[in-house]
Amino acid sequence: MQEVDLHDLLAEPAAYFGNSYTAMHSIERESMLDMQRRGLALRFAQHVESIPMVARLAGRQGVTAIDDLADVVPLLFEHTMYKSYPISLLARQQFGRLTEWIGKLTSVPVTSVDLTGCTSIDQWLNTVSAQTDIDIFHSSGTSGTMSFFPWSKQDLVRIWSIRRMTHLQVYGEEPDDVLLREPFHYIRTSTRFDRRDLGSEAITFGRPGYTHVATEQRPSADLLWLASRLRLAAAQGDSSRVDVPESLLARRDELRRSRDRDEDTRARWLAEIEQLQGQHVLWTIMPHDLFEIALPHVEQSETWSFSSRSVVHLTGGAKGRSLPPDWMDTLKKFLDVRVLIGYSMSELTDQQVMCSAGRYHLQPWVIPYVLDPDTSALLPRRGVQTGRFAFFNLMTDSHWGGLMTGDEVELDYDGPCACGATTQHLGPDIVRLSEKRGGDDKISCAATPQAHADAMQFLNDF
Amino acid sequence: MSTISEAAASGSLTEAESPVVPAIIRGRVVTDSLIEFAGRGGSTTFRTPDPRQYARQLPLASPAQQADLYDLSFDDILDYLEGLGSRLDIATNEHLRWARSLTYATAHATKPLIDNAFRGLARRFSRDAVREMADCTVGLDYLNGWVDTPLHNGTTVSVRAFGARTLHIIPGNSVGAAAGTLIKNAFTRSDAIIKTPSNNPFVAVALGLTMCEYAPDHPMTRHVSIAYWRGGDEEVERTICQPHNIEKIIAWGGLASVRHVTRYIQPGLELISLDPKYSCSVIDLSSVSSDDDLRQVAVRLAVDVGTGNQEPCSASRVAYAITGGRPDGVELANRLGTYVYEELLGLPAGLTTKPKTYDAELRSNVDSLRLQEEFYNVIGGEDDEGAVVVSQLPDPIDFVGLLQDRTVNIVPLDSLQDVLGYLDAYTQTVGVYPESLKEQLLDVAPLYGVQRFVSLGYSSEHTGRAPHDGLELERRMCKWIVDQRSQPARATYASSRPDSGEASAEADASPVVPQTLDAVIAATTPDGER
């Protein structure tokens, strides 16, 4: 067994594998498991000291050391952890308390942040970003709550170096100069999750005119929040009761204007992309969005061709929308390019991508767990297991790497993959547990989250 | 098509796995052309006759066929229901026992709660209960004849409530829902197609099987069809949901159940939607002075939270505790939380039990809050027995919609005014303590959407004698027919009247011309004789 140098791996994972996705996913299984065990013990020792919420959970669970991969299961965070603040902190603009809250979820000290004059979510995010080493990623708030997730710049740089390899390279083919050293055009829908635009840096090497974003500017967290609370108030039957500060409510028109503007910008964005044909591009987009773009072009028998190295990277779930069964055919008729399907979430952004055998390969430092969907008890860590997906991601230093997701997966712990890669892999069918639990045609007189979500969806579509 | 005894003899009605759920069509039991409906998300798998093959048989062929219901006296209806009720003893009724055993397997409720619900079915059918329900909700006079109201101008308006042909989409979280539908259908002299839910297709059918044995040819039996099809099955729903087949659709469960049928709504077809609801409690802690008082509040709140393991829409999910700005307000709310948790665990088994399973998504949320000690005090819940979450700030948790399995959020608020902001059209019932606090709520909270007030501890006592969810369901089940009688003086013919001429220049000054025969009489009668 070749022992992995943990320090080198965690410092520069891409360089550790010689910037080769193939090398990364050809790691000897025994070495990988040994690395995972040592890495987990290291992360626990570090974070039980530096992340207050990890210390609190470890104290409650009576865990003092991690020897085995399964030992960390009682310390995995619920995926709801990053939205577990009282919602009124936003309405009452209590950003000090919100900072204290997020300070318990990160190893980066935030207590000294000067929040003077901070009266909006955007200002809070900017202030924290300017005065500390963390960027706080936020969700869209469409479900009614906005989650906040802390990332350090160092973590993000590492993640992006991995993503460049993962997105552009093909397993089994060693990277050449184009893949390693040439800038790619980077096409995205929004930059919401990437305050410092580190993603663009990794893909375009900072080349001007190489980043193409559908929305002119980063969407305002405040406006997203406002839109979400307006919808909620409407769903509750009283549009006058919106629990946001007056100053934010006054920006209601801005919300409308930004929607109109987005329409115009989007048209320009598509025209810009059309001009990139023949060049190297990485286009990250949700399947539904791309399908909508593709359909009218396919009807006109139009095809867009990019360089042979180009990649369309499909990410993000269905978000309640459905696609026709032949959606992939439509995409392929429109785009003459390699299509890569990724599985990721805001807490696991270093991308697990689908291989030639149709399986999602986990990066070597992502330790997977499959839990009983009802009790969250660990199912045996061997063979093929289906259940609630949980993981510990060793690559993150700024927040706790252990999380129980809301997804159901089929995981092969031991078996080799037909594609040849040695890493552990998930089956292609990943579903939200909450969607599964809803069931079909169950009628109840009691309000359920599903009923509420249906009403919200109805308003969103209206 | 087979008889009940044939079906029972084949064992298909009592099979534990993939049970056969017959369809009931107007006194006939249908068990052929079975197809399987695969359970998902906690629903069971069962076999039932292919609804597409017999959908055309479900509706009443002609509305005139309701005439037989009008040959029945109200006493005949009470006789029928009473006789049916006497056959609903769970100790002896094989169909109910069959439904109960399947409900054990598939319902989220636990055995003691299910036993209790089945034990309570028969008494709903008693003479006195049905008569009182019919009288309080619709009015016996309107159901059994024409009710005259003389108007000031000499006209008499006479009104009678007629039954309607109705599709009922019933909920599966209550054993009593099917019984309630059958009783209302009977006393309004209506015709029902009951679409059963996937989360309990058994109870309605067990009642239907009992009706078929008891009086297969009785008009009350002949005006009921009970079937399962997957909600949204276009072939079935397009067949049934036509104005020549039904006049009304009563849909429980809100958008989920009506999403598919709204496309069929058209003139002649009315949708009555009973939206999904949740309920809460409002408690004035500012006047609570002793520990004993606080425990009194706690046991009442525990009952409203725990009843039916919090499955009914009337179960309390959030308790707003008004502290009146007391400095010990949050501490008091925490103490109340501890007592409520104690009481929840000590309530009688027919009322509440440890849940069969605890919702995983709720557990995920509660466990996250458990670590947020600055914001929330989580009491219990580590054994999936139920939990009390006391907010330490004046805010409810953000997953109120997930609260179930005996989990309540106690929220300390300074004043009643703060409570109003959290009440909305989803709020069905508000349990209030003390009684005097109601005075400040009764005329105000309905404007925010509240539909029902009860004394704390009584939220799940649905009397069936009052409006539900802010509407008079039983009255809306009826068609309200008017007979208007006027006895005007003898009118003249056109040829015998002088020419009235065109409208005069001073039209604005002319008297109002009645829009009836009175216009003719007025035009020809000298002022002094009118």
Q: In whole angstroms, what separates CA B465 from the centre of its chain?
A: 12
- A213 Cβ contact partners less than 8 Å away, ≥ 6 residues apart: A187, A188, A189, A190, A191, A269
**B417 neighbors B440 (Cβ within 8 angstroms):** no
Q: CB contact, 8 Å: B41 with chain A? A: yes
How far is CA A133 from each of CA A107, A175, B49, B204, rounded to the nearest angstrom? 10, 32, 65, 62
Which residues partner with B273 through β-bridges? B251
Cβ neighbours of B252 in A, within 8 Å: 443-445
CA distance B363 to B366: 5
Which of B227, B211, B274 minimizes the C-alpha distance to B46?
Answer: B227
**B370 neighbors A59 (Cβ within 8 angstroms):** no
Nearest chain A Cα distance for residue B425, angstroms = 6
**A354 neighbors A166 (Cβ within 8 angstroms):** no
Residue with tokens 């004059």: A117
The two three-digit tokens of residue B67, written as one number: 């005439």
Task: Return the pLDDT at B511.
Answer: 84
Q: CB contact, 8 Å: B368 with chain A? A: yes
Residue with tokens 């929607």: A259
Element (H, E) at B245: none
Nearest chain A Cα distance for residue B178, angstroms = 13
**B506 neighbors B175 (Cβ within 8 angstroms):** no
A144 contacts B276? CB cut-off 8 A: no
Question: Phi, psi (5° rounding) for residue B452?
Answer: -160, 135
Computed over every residue of chain A, the mean pLDDT equals 88
Nearest chain A Cα distance for residue B101, angstroms = 19
HSE-CB of A363 using CA atoms within 13 angstroms: 29
Task: Return the pLDDT at B380.
Answer: 97
- State the CB neighbour count (10 A cutoff) for residue B346: 11
CA distance B451 to A280: 62
The two three-digit tokens of residue A428, written as one number: 């292609």
Task: Return the pLDDT at A136.
Answer: 92
- State the CB neighbour count (10 A cutoff) for residue B325: 10
Longest dimension (CA), chain A: 66
Strand pairing category for B23-25 and B479-485: unpaired
How far is CA B177 from each of CA A151, A422, B47, B187, B249, rounded to the nearest angstrom? 51, 56, 22, 16, 16
Strand pairing category for A402-412 and A384-393: antiparallel
Under the banding of pLDDT at 50, 70 and 90, the label for residue A379 is very high
Residue A371 — left, alpha, or beta (φ > 0 → left; ψ -120 to 50 → alpha)? beta
For A297-340, what is each residue's pLDDT tens digit?
999 999 999 999 999 999 876 555 678 888 899 999 999 899 99
The two three-digit tokens of residue B379, written as one number: 């009491």
Which of B207, B212, B246 minimizes the C-alpha distance to B55?
Answer: B246
CA distance A89 to A96: 9
**B223 neighbors B190 (Cβ within 8 angstroms):** yes
| Highest mean pLDDT out of A208-222, A436-450, B261-275, B425-439 | B425-439
**B352 neighbors B312 (Cβ within 8 angstroms):** no
Cβ neighbours of A238 in B, within 8 Å: 424-425, 448-449
- State the CB neighbour count (10 A cutoff) for residue B47: 17
> Does the pLDDT at position A413 exceed 90?
yes
DSSP H helices, B138-175, are 140-144
CA distance A108 to A111: 9
Cβ neighbours of A445 in B, within 8 Å: 171, 173-174, 177, 252-253, 274, 276-277, 312-313
Which of A25, A5, A342 minimizes the C-alpha distance to A175?
Answer: A25
Residue B16 — left, alpha, or beta (φ > 0 → left; ψ -120 to 50 → alpha)? alpha
Residues of chain B with pLDDT under 50: 1-16, 528-530
**B142 neighbors B160 (Cβ within 8 angstroms):** yes
Give the residue on A whose Cα is nearest the Cα of B365. Answer: A80
HSE-CB of B262 using CA atoms within 13 angstroms: 7
- Chain A interface disruption, residue of B357, B364, B370, B399, most A CBs within 10 A: B364
How far is CA A278 from each of CA A184, A294, A336, A337, B372, rounded to the nearest angstrom? 12, 18, 10, 10, 53
Q: CB contact, 8 Å: B365 with chain A? A: yes
Cβ neighbours of A446 in B, within 8 Å: 173, 276-278, 311-313, 315, 404
Helices (H) and strands (E) in chain B, counts: 20, 19
Question: Phi, psi (5° rounding) for residue A3?
Answer: -80, 130
Residue type, B432: V
Which of B120, B125, B131, B134 minimizes the C-alpha distance to B84?
Answer: B125
**A365 neighbors A395 (Cβ within 8 angstroms):** yes
Task: Return the pLDDT at B2.
Answer: 43
Task: Return the pLDDT at B11.
Answer: 40
A236 contacts B231? CB cut-off 8 A: no
The two three-digit tokens of residue A446, written as one number: 């009691």
| CB proximity under 8 Å: B 422-481 to A | 424-426, 448-449
> Does the pLDDT at position A159 exceed 60?
yes
* CB-nearest partner of B398 from A145, A375, A437: A145
The two three-digit tokens of residue A3, written as one number: 């022992």
Residue A191 or B209, more confident? B209
* CB-nearest partner of B173 from A81, A404, A445: A445
Task: Return the pLDDT at B7.
Answer: 45
CA distance A105 to A400: 7
Task: Return the pLDDT at B8.
Answer: 42
Which of B363, B365, B378, B419 minimizes the C-alpha distance to A145?
Answer: B365
Nearest chain B Cα distance for residue A87, angstroms = 7
DSSP H helices, B55-187, are 74-86, 94-106, 111-119, 127-137, 140-144, 176-187
Classified as helix, coil or strand, B173 is coil
Task: Return the pLDDT at A281.
Answer: 96
Q: What angle do CA B48, B201, B19 make, to 5 degrees?
A: 50
Q: What angle do CA A339, A340, A344 make, to 5 degrees?
A: 145
pLDDT > 70 in chain A, percent: 91
Kindly report the pTM of this predicted structure. Answer: 0.87
CA distance B526 to A114: 92
* CB-nearest partner of B368 from A80, A100, A451: A80
String of DSSP letters for A324-379: -TTHHHHHHHHEESEEEEEEEETTEEEEEEE-TTS-EEPPTTEEEEEE-TTT-PBP
B368 contacts A78? CB cut-off 8 A: yes
For A70-128, what is each residue's pLDDT tens digit?
999 999 999 889 999 998 898 889 999 999 999 999 999 998 999 998 999 999 999 99
A241 contacts B421? CB cut-off 8 A: yes
Which of B485, B488, B480, B491 minimizes the C-alpha distance to B520?
Answer: B491
Which of B411, B400, B408 minimizes the C-alpha distance to B309?
Answer: B408
Task: Return the pLDDT at B528.
Answer: 46
For A27-51, what is each residue's pLDDT tens digit?
999 999 999 999 999 999 999 999 9
Task: Return the pLDDT at B257.
Answer: 67
* CB-nearest partner of B398 from A77, A81, A144: A144
